[in-house]
């Protein structure tokens, strides 16, 4: 197949003839759709590898009728093979008019082959080579199958003599492989008494159909040929170019753009940047031309949806914050503190009780006296007394004291609700002594003073924040 491709570089039409016992399916498939190659295969067909090569396989498309298949049966001999091979090849030469021939001489079509099932002798096989040669066309002869080595060697040696015009006798010269060719030690492969399953009627019918298909082809299909150079236009091969590149790199290790690289460089008009070769271009006479736009660089391909901080957004930029005068700020803070202190002194003057509690604090007030414990004769505390004292109900603040508290805090007078709490004591113990009225008054005043002090501190903090 590679040989055919190479011949197509110089020849318009190439003929491929296959006399291997197997169908030449690979080459046929490669050129199944072209009219520049005609494949002609004579092979065993029917439950035999590769299972292709039917008479109706003639090609497709432009290559229709340019695939010739001649299916055969077992045991074909020299006479039968000659009766079909020569008429078919003659018709191919007449209609196709090839300019070159590739002949595949598979040796497995010989008699006695381990895989083949034909009954051709060496001379019957060589007759095909002789007949193709008689047309006087450039011919490429290649080997093929063959699984009985001594017969393949004999046949290909004899056919080589046919190709070069030498008549080779039957006597084999002595050599180191002489024992392989026993027991007759002759240059010959004889046919056997194998039965020929190919009847005359069958072969004639197939031959007529094949020739009819050839008549449907275009006579000597033409193709436009062009001279394909074997070497680059520069006259150097790729290996020579690589050697010169290596030499240039060795001699100019510290040079970024050498003269050789400049000569080989091809500049595209849509490159992103030209700054890399501006220096080399200037050194080689390249100058900017009037009216020719400069090549675009990477900044010419910006994203239109991106946000640029330098682009004007239309919003006025706010002025810078003025510098703070430290002395003025301190004066304002001192004035605010003086006003707050004056208000606190005024509140203390209007309510002496609040002033006293504000100076001492709720934590410094006299705590409530503990209830006396009953001690027995041994000095032990009475264990029958409960460890947890019963919860006392909250006492309401007398209405007489509410105006004083309200005046001190400048808050509206709100009556304090009375919450009644029932306490159940599970153990039997001695009754608690009654609470004195003075103690109630002191506790109430402590709570009121604490609330007033907290509110004053909150008010002072708010005024400081406002200032």
| Token code pair at residue 423 | 């306490």
Helices in 233-304 by DSSP H: which ranges? 238-251, 259-264, 278-283
Write out pLDDT tens, residues 184-230.
Answer: 899 999 999 999 999 999 999 999 999 999 999 888 777 777 666 66
Q: Does the pLDDT at position 296 exceed 70?
A: no
Q: What is the pLDDT of residue 30?
A: 94
pLDDT band at 447 (very low <50, low <70, confident <90, very high): confident
High-pLDDT (> 70) share of the chain, %: 65
* Domains defined along the chain, listed by start: 2-215 (3.40.800.20), 331-367+385-425+433-466 (no CATH)
Write out pLDDT tens, residues 74-133.
Answer: 999 999 999 999 999 999 999 999 999 999 999 999 999 999 999 999 999 999 999 999
pLDDT: which is higher, 329 or 67:
67
Q: What is the pLDDT of residue 39?
A: 97
Global confidence as pTM: 0.52
Write out pLDDT tens, residues 138-176.
Answer: 999 999 999 999 999 999 999 999 999 998 999 999 989
Q: Does the pLDDT at position 10 exceed 80?
A: yes
| Token code pair at residue 76 | 């074909």
Q: Does the pLDDT at position 402 exceed 70?
A: no
State mean pLDDT over 250-255: 86
| Token code pair at residue 73 | 């049966």
Q: How far apart are CA 10 and CA 138, in angstroms?
A: 12
Write out pLDDT tens, residues 184-193.
Answer: 899 999 999 9
Q: In what order do the strands lie in the sheet with 139-143?
A: 67-72, 37-44, 14-18, 100-105, 139-143
Q: What is residue 257's DSSP assignment?
A: S
| Token code pair at residue 183 | 């027991």
Helices in 70-168 by DSSP H: which ranges? 78-96, 122-133, 149-164
Q: Does the pLDDT at position 453 exceed 50?
A: yes
Q: How far apart are CA 308 and CA 304, in angstroms?
A: 10
């Amino acid at each position: 197949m590679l040989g055919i491709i190479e011949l197509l570089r110089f020849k318009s039409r190439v003929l491929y003839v296959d006399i291997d016992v197997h169908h030449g399916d690979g080459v046929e498939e490669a050129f199944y759709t072209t009219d520049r190659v005609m494949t002609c295969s004579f092979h065993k067909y029917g439950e035999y590898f590769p299972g292709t090569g039917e008479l109706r396989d003639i090609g497709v498309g432009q290559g229709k009728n340019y695939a010739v298949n001649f299916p055969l049966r077992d045991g074909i001999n020299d006479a039968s093979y000659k009766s079909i091979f020569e008429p078919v090849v003659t018709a191919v030469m007449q209609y196709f008019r090839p300019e070159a021939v590739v002949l595949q001489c598979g040796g497995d079509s010989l008699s006695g082959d381990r895989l083949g099932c034909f009954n051709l002798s060496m001379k019957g096989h060589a007759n095909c080579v002789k007949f193709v040669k008689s047309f006087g066309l450039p011919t490429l002869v290649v080997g093929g199958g063959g699984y009985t080595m001594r017969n393949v060697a004999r046949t290909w040696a004899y056919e080589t003599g046919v190709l070069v015009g030498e008549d080779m006798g039957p006597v084999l010269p002595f050599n180191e492989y002489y024992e392989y060719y026993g027991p007759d030690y002759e240059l010959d492969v004889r046919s056997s008494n194998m039965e020929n399953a190919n009847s005359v009627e069958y072969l004639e019918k197939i031959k007529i159909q094949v020739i009819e298909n050839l008549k449907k082809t275009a006579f000597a299909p033409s193709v436009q040929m062009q001279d394909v150079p074997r070497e680059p236009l520069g006259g150097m091969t790729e290996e020579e170019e690589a050697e010169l590149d290596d030499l240039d790199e060795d001699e100019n290790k510290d040079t970024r753009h050498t003269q050789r690289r400049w000569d080989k460089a091809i500049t595209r008009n849509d490159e992103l940047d030209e700054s890399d070769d501006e220096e080399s271009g200037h050194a080689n006479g390249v100058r900017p031309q009037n009216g020719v736009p400069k090549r675009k660089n990477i900044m010419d391909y910006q994203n239109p949806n991106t946000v640029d901080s330098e682009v004007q957004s239309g919003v006025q930029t706010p002025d810078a914050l003025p510098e703070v005068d430290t002395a003025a700020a301190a004066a304002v803070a001192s004035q605010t503190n003086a006003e707050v202190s004056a208000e606190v002194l005024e509140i203390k003057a209007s309510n002496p009780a609040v002033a006293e509690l504000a100076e001492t604090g709720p934590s410094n007030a006299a705590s409530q006296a503990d209830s006396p414990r009953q001690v027995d004769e041994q000095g032990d505390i009475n264990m029958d007394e409960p460890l947890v004292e019963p919860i006392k109900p909250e006492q309401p603040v007398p209405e007489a004291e509410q105006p004083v508290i309200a005046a001190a805090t400048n808050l509206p007078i709100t009556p304090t609700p009375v919450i009644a709490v029932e306490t159940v004591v599970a153990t039997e113990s001695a009754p608690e002594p009654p609470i004195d009225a003075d103690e109630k008054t002191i506790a109430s005043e402590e709570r009121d003073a604490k609330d007033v002090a907290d509110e004053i501190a909150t008010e002072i903090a708010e005024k400081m924040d406002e200032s």
